[in-house]
Amino acid sequence: MKTHPLQRALFVALVIALILCCFLAPYAWIVSSSFKNQLTLFNDVTPLSWKAFFPVEGTLENYRTLFERTNVLRALLNTAIVAGGQVALTLLLCAMAAYSLTRIRFPGAKIVFVMILLTFLLPIEALMVPLYQVVSGLGLSNTLLGIMIPWIASPFGLFLLKQAFEELPVELEDAARIDGAGHVRIFFSIVLPNVKVPMLTLGLITFLFSWNSFLWPLVIVQDPAHQVIQVAIAQQGSPTQLPNWGETFAGATVATLPLILLFLLLQKYFTQGMTTSGIKG
C-alpha cells in the first residue's frame, strides 16, 4: 500500500494544524477577549469568525480596571514570595536531607527512609481538613508562610536529589576530606555545585506547583491581603457583583503569563523534571 508523497505531506500538515488549533485556539481566544469590551465580547463567537481570536478594536480597559479595582498586583507579589520562598526552602532542606542519606552511614537511616517513602503516596487533598487544623493551630493561618510550609519537606524533591547525589562519584569529595574539610564545606562547595541541573529541575517543578496551587491557599488564607493569584482570579469570578468578563480573561492572562514565559525559556528542564521523575527509574 503506497500513498503519494504529496498526499502524505498534506495529511501530516492537516494533523499538525489540527493539534495546534486544539491547543492554541483557547489561549488565543482568552487573550484576545481580554482586550475586548463586555458588549462585543461574544459577538464573534456565534457565528464564529476569525475576529474571535484577534481583538480588532482592542481596549486596555479590562487590564486597567483589573489592576485598579482588584488586588491582583498584591496577589501576584504574594504568589512570587510564596513560590520563591518555597523553592529556596525546598531546595535547601531536600538537599541537606539527601546529603545525609547518601553521604553518611548512620543507624536508623532505613527507618527514616521508609518514613519518607510512605508520605510519597499520601494524597494531600485528603488531608486538607486536619492539615488546616494543624497549620492554624500553629498560628499560621492567613500568613504567606502558612501557604508554603506544609510543602517544603517534599518527598518528591528528596528522591530527585537523592538520585542525583548517588550518581556523584565519591572521589570528588575524597580529596577535600583529606584536606580536612568538614561536611558543611563538602556540601556547599563540592556536592551542590555538581548537581546544578537536578537542583534547577526541582526548583522549576516546585515553582510550578507553588504558583498553580489553589485548594490549600483557598482554605488557609481568607484575608485578601495575603491571597495568592490563583485564588484571587477564581474569587474575582464570583463575588456579589459579576465582574466584567473581559476582566476575568485579563486576570487569567496575567496569572498565566509568568509561568508560560518561564516554561518557554526553560522548557528542557521542565520536561526533564517531569519525565526523569517517572521513567528513568
Partner 1 sequence: MSVPNILTAASAGTKARARKPVTRRQKRDWVFAAGFLAPFMILLLVFQYVPLVVMAKNSVLDYSLLNPAVAKFVGLRNFTDMIEYEDAAVSFGVTFLFALGVVVTVIPIAFLLALFLNSKLPARGLVRTMIMLPVVTSAVVVATMWSFLLDPSNGLINGVLNLIGVGNQPFLTSTGQALPALIVMTLWQQVGFGAILFLAGLQGLPPELTEAARIDGATKRQVLWNVTIPLLSRTTLFVVVIMTVFSLQAFAPAFLMTQGGPQEATNLIVYHIYNTAFIMQQAGYASALSVVLLLVVLAISTLQMALLRSRWNY
Partner 2 sequence: MKTRNLLLAGLLAATALGSSSVAHAQDAVACTGETVTLRILRTPGNYPYPAPMEGWQKENPCVQFEINEVPFAQLADTISVQAASSNPPDILVYDGPNTQSYAASGILLPLTKYLPEGWDEDILPATKTEHSYEGEVYSPGIEQTTVAMYYNKTLLEAAGIKPPQTLEKAWTWAEALEAFKACQQGPASSPTVWGLGPTRFGNGQPGLVYQDLIYQRSAGDPNADPSSSAYKTFWALSPDGKSVTGYLNTPEAVGALTFYRSLFNSEGVAPKVGIPNAFFDGKACFYIDTPAAGNALLKDPKFDWGITPIPHFKTPIVHTGSTTIGVAARSRNPDVAAKFVVDMSWGEYAYMNVSQRGNLPTLKSLFPRFEVYNGYPMKVFVDQLQEWGQPRPPGAKFAQYDKLVTDALRAVAFGGDPAELMGDAEKKVQRVLDR
Question: Which residue in 163, 175, 173, 168 sits closest to 281, CA to CA?
Answer: 163
Minimum Å gap between C-beta 119 and partner 2 is 20
CB under 5 to 8 A by kind: which of partner 2, partner 1, none does 241 bind? Answer: partner 2
The SS3 call for residue 107 is coil
> Interface with partner 2 includes 260 (CB under 8 A)?
no
Question: Of the ranges 2-10, 60-68, 159-167, 241-249, which one interacts with partner 2 (CB under 8 A)?
Answer: 241-249
The answer for residues whose C-beta is within 8 angstroms of residue 230's C-beta and 6 or more apart is: 79, 211, 212, 213, 214, 217, 255
Looking at residues 96 to 115 of the shown chain, list those that interact with partner 2 (rule: CB under 8 A): 96
Residue with smaller CB distance to partner 1, 146 or 226: 146
Interaction pattern, residues 160-199, with partner 2; x per rule: CB under 8 A: ------------------------x---------------
List the one residue from 226, 253, 255, 273 that touches partner 2 (CB under 8 A).
226
Residue with smaller CB distance to partner 1, 152 or 226: 152
> Interface with partner 2 includes 49 (CB under 8 A)?
no
The answer for residues whose C-beta is within 8 angstroms of residue 194's C-beta and 6 or more apart is: 168, 172
CA distance 115 to 78: 32
Residue with smaller CB distance to partner 2, 153 or 266: 153
For residue 244 the three cell numbers come to 466584567
The answer for residues whose C-beta is within 8 angstroms of residue 228's C-beta and 6 or more apart is: 75, 78, 79, 82, 147, 213, 217, 221
Question: Which residue in 265, 266, 246 sits closest to 32, CA to CA?
Answer: 246
Question: Of the ranges 55-63, 113-121, 135-143, 204-212, which one interacts with partner 2 (CB under 8 A)?
Answer: 135-143
CB under 5 to 8 A by kind: which of partner 2, partner 1, none does 20 bind? Answer: partner 1
Helix (H) or strand (E) holding 206: helix 196-212
Question: CA distances (Å), 236 to each of 229, 230, 239, 271, in order?
Answer: 10, 10, 6, 32
Residue with smaller CB distance to partner 2, 121 or 184: 184
List the one residue from 225, 257, 260, 261 that touches partner 2 (CB under 8 A).
225
CB under 5 to 8 A by kind: which of partner 2, partner 1, none does 134 bind? Answer: partner 1
Residue with smaller CB distance to partner 2, 86 or 201: 86
Torsions phi, psi of 181, nearest 5? -75, 140
Minimum Å gap between C-beta 5 and partner 1 is 13
Residue with smaller CB distance to partner 1, 130 or 171: 130
Question: Which residue in 180, 222, 214 sits closest to 82, CA to CA?
Answer: 214
CA distance 160 to 196: 12
The SS3 call for residue 168 is coil
# residues contacting partner 2 (CB under 8 A): 39
Question: Which residue in 183, 211, 195 sits closest to 157, CA to CA?
Answer: 195
Minimum Å gap between C-beta 137 and partner 2 is 8
User: Which residues contact partner 2 (rule: CB under 8 A)?
Assistant: 38-39, 46, 81, 85, 88-89, 92-93, 96, 132, 136-137, 139-146, 148, 184, 219, 222-226, 235, 237-245
